Chain A
């Protein structure tokens, strides 16, 4: 049994194998890019909007609200990164109802790439907001002795982020395949619905955890008052 979509080679591009992970990641990216291009091509300002523009506005304003609540800050700088993470993972997971499609998030390589993006974004946002010195001083909290543990925590939460998403999605596809062999008619459908819920919840959790990690790297001495003000606005 092929446990990973990485082993499922669909085509050869010269010497390069195009495996299922790669192909379906491209598919998801194409859907997202083409969809947002088609929707934002003719934006309207009249009271009666098109359905698709409504959908996109609900998505963006919902994401902004979630980011504002999770970080107690204005969502502006975080929306592109967090929103992209959520939309990509949610689309990749939801397409799992299409027969023959394997979610690219069921492969450890995709989830590791996403987790590494978060791993890189945490210091970038932290330095951009507080400066290099203040960000590095965060690692010495509460005392100098905690420095190795802080670094270890940074690494292990990146690993946990990758393995959590991978485990959840691989779980869905493999249990589905096993159940198809044991009880073909009814149970796989129920499990597909469960998989859809899990997929959306996992996308939400990935995005919120990324936001929480970024926000926690920005906490400095003066931040409680800042947070308080922006939280009330």
Chain B
């Protein structure tokens, strides 16, 4: 049984927070994108002539919505791979 030191606590909290960030952070963009897609499909079904315009607008809109999910991804990646607190404790333990 390893002893629970500060760097272990930081590691556990970081990994847990990264998982929670991805879990919660992907719900809202997924709902938003699904709704946007459903509305766009309905609009295309009603007006097939406008399909190119609708598709382009849908792409741009979904890209905007997606950026919130991407923020969450970047934050959780930083928490796992480039966590400043973690690096601090590791250098302290090593040195």
Contact = CB atoms under 8 A, between A and B. Distances in A.
A167 B70 contact: yes
A119 B74 CA distance: 22
Contacts of A130: none
Interface in A175-233: 201, 204-205, 208-209, 212
Interface string B5-41: 0000000000000000000000000000000000000
B60 A212 contact: yes
Interface of B is mostly: helix
B42 interface: no
A166 B74 CA distance: 9
B63 A167 contact: no
A205 B70 CA distance: 14
Interface string B45-62: 000000011001001100
A208 B60 contact: yes
A174 interface: yes
B82 interface: yes
A168 interface: yes
A163 B53 CA distance: 26
Contacts, number: 45
B85 interface: no
A3 B77 contact: yes
Given A164-B67, A174-B77, A204 B52 contact: no
A70 interface: yes
A69 B82 contact: no
Contacts of B70: 163-164, 167-168, 171
A167 B73 contact: yes
Interface string A57-74: 000000000000110000
Contacts of B43: none
Interface of B: 52-53, 56, 59-60, 63-64, 66-67, 70-71, 73-74, 77-78, 81-82
24 contacts: A1-B81, A3-B77, A3-B78, A3-B81, A3-B82, A69-B53, A69-B56, A70-B56, A163-B67, A163-B71, A164-B63, A164-B66, A164-B67, A166-B74, A167-B67, A167-B70, A167-B73, A167-B74, A168-B70, A171-B70, A171-B73, A171-B77, A174-B77, A208-B56
Interface of A: 1, 3, 69-70, 160, 163-164, 166-168, 170-171, 174, 201, 204-205, 208-209, 212
Closest 4 CB pairs of A and B: A167-B70, A205-B63, A3-B81, A164-B67
